[in-house]
Amino acid sequence: EPEVTQTPSHQVTQMGQEVILRCVPISNHLYFYWYRQILGQKVEFLVSFYNNEISEKSEIFDDQFSVERPDGSNFTLKIRSTKLEDSAMYFCASWAPRDLNEQFFGPGTRLTVL
């Protein structure tokens, strides 16, 4: 069964460093998403991406964040200068019309900022 994959599973970084979280969505899916979940809190939407551009973003998704689909398979989330409060689980999701509005989620990347 096709699935969304994410790497790395756990990333530890120093405050101020740049991190890139990687996702491989399900092949032929058209919409891509990033969500995050700070420990003990709810899953929050960050950004959606369609046709090589951002279609919607939340207030969390400020200038420190960017997304990119550098090739036909990867979908990345970059945080330019990490802050302590960026520590969270980051989930990638993808969607295609044939899947009747179900977003398929990856296993997540746990980001720890020290």
Partner 1 sequence: AQSVSQHNHHVILSEAASLELGCNYSYGGTVNLFWYVQYPGQHLQLLLKYFSGDPLVKGIKGFEAEFIKSKFSFNLRKPSVQWSDTAEYFCAVDTGTASKLTFGTGTRLQVTL
Least distance (Å) from partner 1 to the CB of residue 66?
18
- Tell me how far, at minimum, the Cβ of 47 lies from partner 1, in Å: 9
Does the footprint of partner 1 cover residue 109 (CB under 8 A)? Answer: no
Question: Using an 8 Å Cβ cutoff, are 96 and 30 in contact?
Answer: yes
Region 50-69 residues binding partner 1, contact defined as CB under 8 A: 50, 55-56, 58
53 within 8 A of 4, measured Cβ to Cβ = no
Q: What is the DSSP string of 33-99?
A: EEEEE-TTS-EEEEEEEETTEEEEE-TT--TTEEEE--SSS-EEEEESS--GGG-EEEEEEEE-GGG
What is the per-residue binding string for partner 1 in 79-108, x denoting contact by CB under 8 A?
------------x-x-x-x--xxxx-xxxx
Tell which one of 28, 42, 62, 84 touches partner 1 (CB under 8 A). 42
Burial grade of 76 (CB within 10 A; 0-12, 13-18, 19 or more)? middle
In angstroms, give the least distance from the CB of 109 to partner 1: 11
- Where along the sequence are the contacts to partner 1 (CB under 8 A)? 4, 30-31, 33, 35, 41-45, 48, 50, 55-56, 58, 91, 93, 95, 97, 100-103, 105-108
